[in-house]
Amino acid sequence: MKYLSAGSFHLCKFILIALCFGKRMSQHSQSFHTINDAIIIEADNTGDERQEHQSPLKNPILMTSLCPHLNELCCPKMPVNDTSNKPRFTRAIDNDKFSCGVSGPYATPNIMEGETGAIKNSWTGMVALVINNQQFCGGTLIDSMNVVTAAHCVSRLTSRNIANLRVALGMHTLKPKMDPQVLKKVRRVISHRDFNAETLHNDIALLTLESPVNFTNTISPVCLPPIHLADQYAYRDAVTIGWGRTVENGTQPNVLQQVTIRTITNNECSSTFRGVILSGITDQMLCAGYPGRGICSGDSGGPLFVQPAPGEKWIQVGIVSWGVGCAEPDFPGVYTRISSFIGWINEHAAVEGPP
């Protein structure tokens, strides 16, 4: 799980954006539309999907060679036509209805040990985003039809790319062969309209699944923070999970990893990045880390959990967004603060059934 030296951070982003921009401009027949503060891309299931989808993962592979720790960093959103009069599909997230957090570890794990393999299927809401049998980001199931992830993971995908995107549920093993219990197609990708690939502000997106998920003992939704909650989640033990690299410039692990870190205040976080990251830390971000532990390439879009009290359900408070280096001791990881976007999630989470 451990991410880019500060000196090359902006140079890498410039290269990635240039590469992706050329790719995005070459795509045609995109199903873009906007609804209020969201950009929606519908899956295009026409034509030969396999041929169309051999290119999307070329960019991440090329990005890895240019900027090893920003291989998921995506391009700015492209101009879209505002068709806000199109039908809207919304649902209020009802955690009680969907029995969020029905399983998982009930004690804060591995505070001293650092990173380790997670207990198989103990994090029942964790998902992997997969194209052409390659995992490139994480995400979490928030109800039977929706997955939340980072916008930088999916904002550059075309309609044809989305048709080949799969959400792997109930998965633990990544190598030598992935072991998802369920693979779901994606109907649409909804990215925050104000997502900025330069600053990674508003780094959040929803994936609408093609059909509802049947919940089991090993597949069920995560709990999200209550709306209007004032808790800033500072100075809390937190757990982040993913299939990202375990050491800088290393390889991805065989199985899902988890690591316990510590959240800090945004003021402290801003101080650590002062003079390094010019865009700064916003109220919509949350920072957490611990020397020698943290997130890395491949963890993007995955969750940050806290447990309100021992024995209580875990709450997802963050989405893996960005950082400097792989678990660098002087820099925490930066997460999208979920509580800042509960209203956005409630508005844009799709209802079950056909569009």
Q: What are the residue numbers of the active site? A: 152, 203, 300
Residue the block writes with tokens 């070459």: 26
Neighbours of 278 (CB within 10 A): 11
Pairing of strands 182-192, 237-242: unpaired
Element (H, E) at 205: strand 205-209
Which burial class, exposed, middle or buried, applies to 178 when counting CB atoms under 10 A from its CB (0-12, 13-18, 19+)? Answer: middle
Give residues with Cβ within 8 angstroms of 351, minimum separation 6. Answer: 89, 90, 91, 145
The rounded distance, in Å, linking the Cα atoms of 85 and 43 is 20
What phi, psi does 189 have (nearest 5°)?
-115, 130
Pairing of strands 126-131, 285-289: unpaired
The rounded distance, in Å, linking the Cα atoms of 338 and 27 is 32
The rounded distance, in Å, linking the Cα atoms of 54 and 38 is 27
Where are the alpha helices (H) located in the chain, listed in sequence order? 9-25, 49-52, 58-66, 151-154, 159-163, 266-273, 342-348
CA distances (Å), origin 54, targets 64, 160, 188: 17, 11, 20
Strand runs labelled E in 60-180? 116-117, 126-131, 134-141, 146-149, 165-169
User: Which residues face 287 on adjacent strands?
Assistant: 264, 334
The rounded distance, in Å, linking the Cα atoms of 50 and 55 is 10
Which burial class, exposed, middle or buried, applies to 255 when counting CB atoms under 10 A from its CB (0-12, 13-18, 19+)? Answer: middle
- What token pair was written down for 269? 């976080």
